Structure 1
Amino acid sequence: MSHKKFTIQNNPFVVPTTDGKIIKEHFGNTTNGDSQISIAHMKAPAGWSEPFQTPEFDEYTFIIRGRKQFIIEGETVVLEAGQSIKIEKNTRVQYSNPFTEVCEYIAICLPAFSMDLVNRED
């Protein structure tokens, strides 16, 4: 019997949150123990925001629908559906959705997202 060289993810890990954001990790530390990459499907509700952070991983974001605001080293950037961004590791950033509609997006982190590497500010 041969080993399959692919994995289909039908049951992503739903990360528990307290801020209304829906995070479904398809691949990564919590789903399959992969510390090299994490791929998550996210929905950030209107008015959502996170504290500033300086992650020790590169983060790629692709906006599916809605808009998402990034404050990157003091510069405000707003992305809309169809746009993407790469934020390099060790960059101070704040993510938010100050708009009136849900923002749906895909986030990919290299290496994989972990609370130990995100360095969120209080």
Structure 2
Amino acid sequence: MLDENKYYVEEKKYTIQNNPFVVPTTDGKIIKEHFGIASNSNSQISIAHMKAPSGWSEPFQTPEFDEFTFIIKGKKQFIIEDETIILEAGQSIKIEKNTRVQYSNPFTEICEYIAICIPAFSIDLVNRETK
């Protein structure tokens, strides 16, 4: 029997993210994590909206997570093992964990994309090589 004097709150089975965590960077890349470790919301998956400026690149890395990328605008270059792949708006890719990869935008326009990592992105799991 419910106590008529107590207020019961129904727990929602969804979360709306209106204020993603903006990850600080030093390379001009804009990272807005909607769900993941940085946003303190999830360690199983991370979902981030990214904008990589023209000329941006990261060192080679061998992440311990699967990464899915969907290109919204522009182009992004991937060097996976020894193969160079260029994706354009509307294309997507899955790169399996423990694969050596380098991400860059050597093109003239900004690249806007969504990145999803399973498990969630963590700098401790990236294994970036020193330049």
Which amino acid is 1:70 matched to? F
1:114 maps to 2:122? yes
Counterpart in the other structure of 1:82? 90
Q: C-alpha displacement at 1:106, in angstroms?
A: 0.1
Q: Among residues 96, 103, 114, which one is paired with 1:95 in the alignment? A: 103
Counterpart in the other structure of 2:20? 12
Q: Which runs of 5+ in 2 are unaligned?
A: 1-8
Q: Among residues 37, 44, 49, which one is paired with 1:29 in the alignment? A: 37
Residues 39-92 of structure 1: CA deviation (Å, up to 9, x unaligned) = 000000000000000000000000000000000001000000000000000000
Q: C-alpha displacement at 1:93, in angstroms?
A: 0.0
TM-score by length of 2: 0.92
Which amino acid is 1:8 matched to? I
Which amino acid is 2:100 matched to? R
What secondary structure is seen at the aligned counterpart in 1 of 2:38?
Answer: helix
Q: How many residues align?
A: 122
Cα separation, 2, equivalents of 1:35 and 1:116: 13
Residues 74-115 of structure 1: CA deviation (Å, up to 9, x unaligned) = 100000000000000000000000000000000000000001
CA RMSD of aligned residues (A): 0.5
